[in-house]
Chains A and B, each alone.
Chain A
Amino acid sequence: MLRASRSGNHFSPLVVGAVVTLLFVAKTVRSDPSTARAVKVLVITTSDAEAKPYGDALGLTDSVPVPGLSEANPAVRCNADGVCLLTTGPGKANAAASVMAVIESEPFDLSHTYFLVAGLAAIDPGEGTVGSVTWAQNVVDSGIAWEIDARALPAGWSTGYLGILAKSPSDKPGSSFGTEFYPLVPSLVAKALALSESAALEDGPAASAYRAHYAASPATEPPKVITCDTTTSDTYWHGELLGQRAHDWVAAVTGGKGAYCTMQQTDNATIAALHRGADAGLLDAKRVLVLHAASRFDRQYPGQSAAESFAADAGGNAVALHNLAIAGVPVIAEIVANWDAWQTGVPE
């Protein structure tokens, strides 16, 4: 693997894993089965592929079955130091169902837990590149909308998507389901970025060759850890035109505060479930982090068609899976190592 040339520590996932594992092994195992397991960090992934590097790094050897989880991933996996991982399955239905099942299950005390929502995403080449790792500040649902086929647009419409009960794509939605927009806590996002931005991200020759097709930086440059906003839709869209729509949509939904950067299929549902838990007093929704690693671009490069771009292998899958843990694990390690401080809130 090529390694991005960056300043700061150059530790591989294995080294990080070893450090973190040592850290955890040194602590006492909570052994009273009658007590709910107090979780310091719950990592939430959607697939086994996303979960694996975390499982490897964190030594998640304790399996806790939870009723209501998916058939494929029926248990939450934990280590002895209160770090746990849930794999939900793909899409909003699976994400909301699994997260809600864990929130409402007996074995876990989530009252002080930090939630690390971690998954692969596609990235806007204007904001990042294949292998980039992103901390979201704003999480916006792009699927809850009206839509007509884009070949039937009236004059003045830029896209077939518009807000529900709106009059046109530039009009405000006339409704809210309550799950459309989740701004995360800026101080927590900033802390996570600070803890991870010097991590040495992986890169690879295939990703490097593929990104060279794009016209400009940051798409053409090696990956970095950045802050950028994410959109959620079960519909995994691709291409320049729906990319422009995502850009305009995020700007509208966030009142101009957010900037579209990545797209994925689950996060608004995951966070919606976490907010149900917060409303019920079971957890603190201010302790949510959303981390993505870009396995691909969300649109074509100059001269390529949208369909060609969609079908292409951007060489980013393995790189992104590694980087997802390379950036996330140091944050988990810090929370665990300084739990006395983090337990009461994000340290200054």
Chain B
Amino acid sequence: VSAARALIAGLAIVAASCGSDAAPAAGGSHTGAPRAVKVMIVNMAFLEGQGFVKELGLDEEIPVTGLGTAAPNVLCNADDVCELTTGMGYANAAASVTALIQRSGLDLSRTYVIIAGIAGVDPEQGTIGTAAWARYVVDFGFANEIDAREMPAAWPYGYFGIGAAAPSDPPANDYDAAVFQIDEALLQAAYALSKDVALGDSAAAAKFRANYASAPANEPPRVTQCDVVSSDTWFAGNALTVRAREWTKLLTNGKGVACMSAQEDNATLEVLKRGAAAGKVDLTRVLVLRTASDFAAPYGGQTDADGLVSSLAQGGIGPSTENLFAAASPVIRAIVTDWSAWRMGTVKP
């Protein structure tokens, strides 16, 4: 559940409508060969992209049919680093990434894709500002649910898998976007390149995290590796956070560690998988980076409702958006600088 995406959407629309009259630019070059993109940043909300656009000078606008009216252009620089803002939620993410693959005219076949957005964090795995590279991306929302007040007494929460009889049963194996695994070599390279970067923090975040009793929730943010769950429903609170942990274990044979909750990634990855099947995308070149804007579960003594309703008052919007670029930039720099090697595949740092 990436906090503040909502707020940010409004800003995205305003910004798009105030945009400059850029000259239309074709995705394909004038020489005929499609433009080969080295790195494609996929953001969901306007604020998630701002660090990338500003710091990387992504000022070339490439209009793409189907991207919609709020963010109608892919933005690129002369190094062939590009950015897409999809809009929030599964429908927008799937629609925009499909448009990117089908209609941008860009050659994405050797592109490193970095899905980069803000999220809620499980306080057992991180804190506000934490930047996490995901190994597993698990769909939290595609499931059955009975209101917890009328579920069977033995159930720990009201969510259970499609085709399952109870929350502890594995779901039917017929939903192709249920779980994705990031290429391990690429994940390790991204983590190694970024693990020592200085992350942004804020006085408000430091004050808020002090409410939590233990680390890592009450410590300054770091770059880490832990996993993502996604759902259009931005859940919060103790019981549903436990469900995220247990569901992730269930769908990854016990290997995944639920950590960041987001609202798009399984949809984005489903479309990238389809692009890979069509030979247009390399799924082993996809990274998922989420930074925490708020806690998904309350501190001791705080209610679920108070934690959720105060999401935007946790001081996390600044650090989380800032840290997307902070954590991704060494990876982008390595790829662009040593493109002749990265073009062939992940380079071990």
Contacts from A to B (Cβ < 8 Å): 67-72, 89-97, 100-101, 103-105, 141, 143-154, 157, 159-161, 164-165, 167-168, 173-179, 233-242, 245, 265, 268-269, 272-273, 276-277, 279-280, 282, 305-307, 310-311
CB distance from B124 to the nearest CB of A (A): 17
Q: Does B142 belong to the interface (CB within 8 Å)? A: yes
Q: A154-B303, A175-B9 are in contact. Are A149 and B148 (CB under 8 A)?
A: yes
For B217-241 the 0/1 string (1 means CB < 8 A from A) is: 0000000000000011111111110
Q: Chain A CB within 10 Å — which of B139, B159, B267 has the most? A: B267
- In the bound complex, residues from chain A placing their C-beta under 8 Å from that of B146 are 237-239, 242, 306-307, 310
Is the beta-carbon distance between A306 and B66 smaller than 8 angstroms? no
Instruction: Write 25 A-B pairs (CB below 8 A) sorted by A numbering.
Output: A69-B274, A70-B274, A89-B176, A93-B270, A94-B177, A97-B271, A104-B103, A146-B308, A147-B236, A148-B235, A148-B304, A149-B148, A149-B157, A149-B239, A151-B239, A176-B10, A233-B141, A234-B139, A234-B143, A236-B144, A237-B147, A241-B150, A269-B91, A280-B65, A307-B151
Across the interface, do A148 and B240 meet the contact criterion of CB distance under 8 Å?
Answer: yes
Which chain A residues border B157 with CB–CB below 8 Å?
A: 149
The interface bits of chain B over 75-112 (1 if a CB of A lies within 8 angstroms of the residue's CB, else 0) are: 00000000000011111111101110111000000000
Bound CA–CA A239/B238 (angstroms):
22
Closest to A239 in B: B146
Those of B167-205 within 8 Å (CB) of chain A: 174-177
- Give which listed residue, B165, B234, B267, B275, contacts A96 with CB less than 8 A: B267
Chain A contacts for B5, CB-based, 8 A: 175, 177
Q: Is A91's CB under 8 angstroms from B142's CB?
A: yes
Residue A145 contacts which of B91, B234, B270 (CB distance < 8 angstroms)?
Answer: B234
Q: Is B344 an interface residue (CB 8 A)?
A: no
Give the 10 A-B residue pairs with the shortest CB-CB distance, closest first.
A175-B6, A96-B94, A149-B239, A241-B147, A93-B267, A272-B91, A100-B98, A269-B91, A148-B237, A234-B141
Determine which of B102, B233, B239 lies in contact with A235 in the assembled complex, contact meaning CB atoms within 8 Å.
B233
Interface assignment of B266: CB less than 8 Å from any CB of chain A: yes
Distance A345 CA – B165 CA, assembled complex (angstroms): 47
The answer, among B6, B67, B94, B144, for a CB contact under 8 Å with A93, is B94
**Contact between chains at B94 and A97 (CB < 8 Å):** yes
Q: A178-B70, A306-B146, A306-B150 are in contact. Are A96 and B98 (CB under 8 A)?
A: yes
Residues of the A chain whose Cβ atoms lie less than 8 Å from the Cβ of B88: 177
Q: CB of B28 within 8 A of chain A?
A: no
A179 touches B89 (CB 8 A): yes
Q: B14 within 8 Å of A by Cβ?
A: no
Contacts of B149 in A (CB 8 A): 150-151, 241
Q: Check B9–A177 contact: CB distance below 8 A.
A: yes
User: Is the beta-carbon distance between A164 and B65 smaller than 8 angstroms?
Assistant: no
**A149:B238 contact, CB within 8 angstroms:** yes
The residue on B at minimum CB distance from A243 is B147
- Take A234-B232, A241-B150 as given contacts and tell me if A149 and B304 are in contact as well, using a CB distance cutoff of 8 Å: yes
B301 → A minimal CB distance (Å): 13
Interface set, chain B 223-279, CB cutoff 8 A to A: 231-240, 266-267, 270-271, 274-275, 277-278
In the complex the two chains form, what is the Cα distance from A80 to B166 in whole Å?
A: 47
Whole-angstrom distance between the Cβ of A118 and the nearest chain B Cβ: 19
Contact (Cβ within 8 A) B99 A104: yes
Q: Residues of B contacting A178 with CB < 8 Å?
A: 9, 68, 70, 87, 92
- In the complex the two chains form, what is the Cα distance from A93 to B98 in whole Å? 11
Contact assessment for B231 and A235 in the assembled complex, using a CB-CB cutoff below 8 Å: yes
> Is B152 in the interface zone, CB < 8 Å from A?
yes
Q: Report whether B144 and A238 are in contact in the complex, using a CB–CB cutoff of 8 Å.
A: yes
Cα–Cα, bound, A273→B89 (Å): 13
Residue pair A148, B141 in contact (C-beta under 8 Å): no
Asked if B25 is at the interface of the complex by the 8 Å CB criterion, the answer is no
Decide yes or no whether B162 CB sits under 8 A from chain A: yes
CA distance A276 to B274 in the complex (A): 19
Q: Which residues of B contact A145 (CB under 8 A)?
A: 232-234
CA distance A235 to B171 in the complex (A): 13
Quote the shortest CB–CB distance from A347 to chain B (angstroms): 30
B20 contacts the other chain (CB 8 A): no
Q: Which of A104, A160, A242, A306 has the most CB of B within 10 A?
A: A160
- The CA-CA distance from A235 to B140 in the complex, in Å, is 9
CB pair A150 B65 closer than 8 Å: no
The answer to the question of B59 belonging to the interface, with a C-beta cut-off of 8 Å to chain A, is: no
CB distance from B56 to the nearest CB of A (A): 26
Contact A282 B65, beta carbon cutoff 8 Å: yes
Which of B91, B174, B237 has the most A CB atoms < 10 Å from its CB?
A: B91
Known: A104-B98, A147-B236, A239-B146. A71 touches B176 (CB 8 A): yes
CB-nearest residue of chain A to B312: A165
Do B87 and A90 touch across chains, with their CB atoms under 8 A apart? no
Is B69 positioned at the interface, with any CB of A under 8 Å from its CB?
Answer: yes
What's the Cα separation between A276 and B93 when bound, in Å? 12
Residues of A within 8 A of B70 (CB): 178
